[in-house]
Structure 1
Amino acid sequence: MINPLRRIAIITDDPGWHGKQLCRAFAARSCAAEYVSLTDCKIQVADDLPILIPGFEQTLPDAVFVRGVPGGSLEEVVFYLDILHALKILGVPVYNDGHAIERSVDKAMTSFLLQHAGISTPKTWVLRDRELALAVAERELAAGHYLISKPLFGSQGEGIRRIEKSTDLLWLTGSHGIYYLQRFVECEGEGYSDMRIFVINGKVVAGMRRRGISWLNNVARGASCEPVELTAELTELAIRAVAALSMDYAGVDIIRDRDGRLTVIEVNSVPAWKGLQGACGVDIAGLLVDDLVQRHMYSIKAVA
């Protein structure tokens, strides 16, 4: 039996269904989990305990599970990541850690690292100048390609637009002055669909196909979910994508285009899994907690 005194901080501002799943999984392994917002944490370098976390004023948590990082100004986001980096330096397992969060929350860096690792990903432009962004968009439209405009930071489809014609360029705006444009990939077959593949510790544990009611295949936007065959080609690509971003776990979004090629659209370091679990019947929270405990919480010992 695992020492019942082990305490876990789940970093989130919106625990919801996923938070409850994680708490149950930790409790089943004799660990007590508590929700913590990074907005309430402090750095106090003058004291013996340099990181102050609500509920953990006397001692740091035995591990931290990052379920979400709040948005905000550049200074606020840097501060939140500083907390995660500092906890890891102090010897607290952080899952996924701050570096993994940085690599994935920044879509520009995600695209760069995927391409750098030789992984197929859509052609992407990230730039500051509006006139150059418009020129890229006009050139792509003239060549018969749609574009996706995304905020550099964001999730669940928020702020994403598809550019289909020249009049769409009238509303083209940057995300705090930065333009992220990505060539739209048409999927094979009828309608709109892509695949979410869940990877934990370098292994694919589940996968589903998402069929969207529009071109935006997102469960939060009404997409339906169904199990997908985990072929060797699909699993290898997902595993390589997660390795390129050095993550403990991730949700990898992959699309098969009209020429039959697999392309990685996105890699999410704080993925939701409610739709995936419903489609595949896999206890994702339990697998995540097992991986965190078994690989990272080295000081946990079995007791009689």
Structure 2
Amino acid sequence: MKRFDSLKVLRNVGTVTINSPESIMLARDKFASLLELAKNHVPIPETAMVEDPREAMTLTERWGEVVIKPLIGSLGLGSVKVSDPDIAYRVSKSILSVNQPVYVQKYVKKPDRDIRVFVVGDEVIGSIFRFSNGSWKTNVAQGAVAQMLTISSEIKEIGLKVVKAMKMDYAGIDVVEDTEDNSYKVLEVNASPLWHGFKTATGINPAKFIVKHLLEMIKK
């Protein structure tokens, strides 16, 4: 909160911030950001936030397979895929024991990959596949392999819609291909995305685009 308030103070005295403090805070809160995306008709997986381990059990029984995540986290750390309601109960009880809510998301049946879309301003500068490497997780920081993906009109539309809904200057957006209904779904939005894998796969350096966008903001 101190850092959030510091950014607001800087902005209030005329300093240009990128992204805005409010957008960064919204993106950090996975559930709040998905609520905002749903409100703006961006496709997302079925998701719930509960404070009773029995409710996590019920969701696991209903959805068959779920991912229990930290409400605020990154790099895929702490995310657990569960299909056994009893395990969902134990994982949830552990999270609740340290006064954290339980964030439960229906697991999207997908190929062994996801898509990272990188948007700066009103431009989708590139996208990559992230292929899992012996794990269900597709984070490059956890060993996933990045491969350049040609941007389709549908991916571009989703990326721009997400950034507009979240009022962000730039973002890394995680998208999955849902094989059950042949659609795309947005898992989460990153306000401070890492880009080593993206740059290696595409040859595109997002920093150049971010600095250009920042300079344009300062001129305004």
Determine the C-alpha separation between the residues in 1 that align with 2:196 and 2:167.
24
Segments of 4+ moved more than 4 angstroms = none
| 1:267 aligned residue | 189
In the TM superposition, 1:71-90 aligns within 5 A as: 78-90=1-13
| 1:185 aligned residue | 108
Instruction: Name which of 71, 83, 86 aligns with 1:164.
Output: 83
Instruction: Report the CA distance between 1:128 and its aligned residue.
Output: 2.1
Instruction: Name which of 153, 163, 167 aligns with 1:242.
Output: 163
Instruction: Report the CA distance between 1:202 and its aligned residue.
Output: 1.8
Instruction: Report the CA distance between 1:170 and its aligned residue.
Output: 4.5
Amino acid of the structure 1 residue aligned with 2:173: V
| 1:93 aligned residue | 16
CA contact (8 A) 2:118 2:127 kept: yes
Give CA deviations for 1:219-239 in whole Å, capped at 9, x if unaligned. Answer: 000000111010111100111
Instruction: Report the CA distance between 1:136 and its aligned residue.
Output: 2.1
Structure (1 or 2) with the greater helix fraction: 2
| 2:205 aligned residue | 283
Instruction: Report the CA distance between 1:126 and its aligned residue.
Output: 0.9
Instruction: State percent identity of aligned pairs.
Output: 29
Q: Which has the larger radius of gyration?
A: 1
CA contact (8 A) 2:60 2:84 kept: no
Structure 2: gaps (5+ residues) = none
| 1:211 aligned residue | 131
| 2:62 aligned residue | 139
Amino acid of the structure 2 residue aligned with 1:298: K
Structure 1: gaps (5+ residues) = 1-77, 300-304
- Alpha carbon RMSD of aligned pairs, Å? 1.4
Determine the C-alpha separation between the residues in 1 that align with 2:83 and 2:205.
40
| 1:229 aligned residue | 150
What is the TM-score when the length of structure 2 is the normalising length? 0.92
Question: Secondary structure, in 3 states, of the residue corresponding to 2:154?
Answer: helix
What is the TM-score when the length of structure 1 is the normalising length? 0.68
Asked if residue 257 in structure 1 is aligned to residue 166 in structure 2, the reply is no
CA contact (8 A) 2:45 2:106 kept: yes
CA contact (8 A) 2:69 2:79 kept: yes
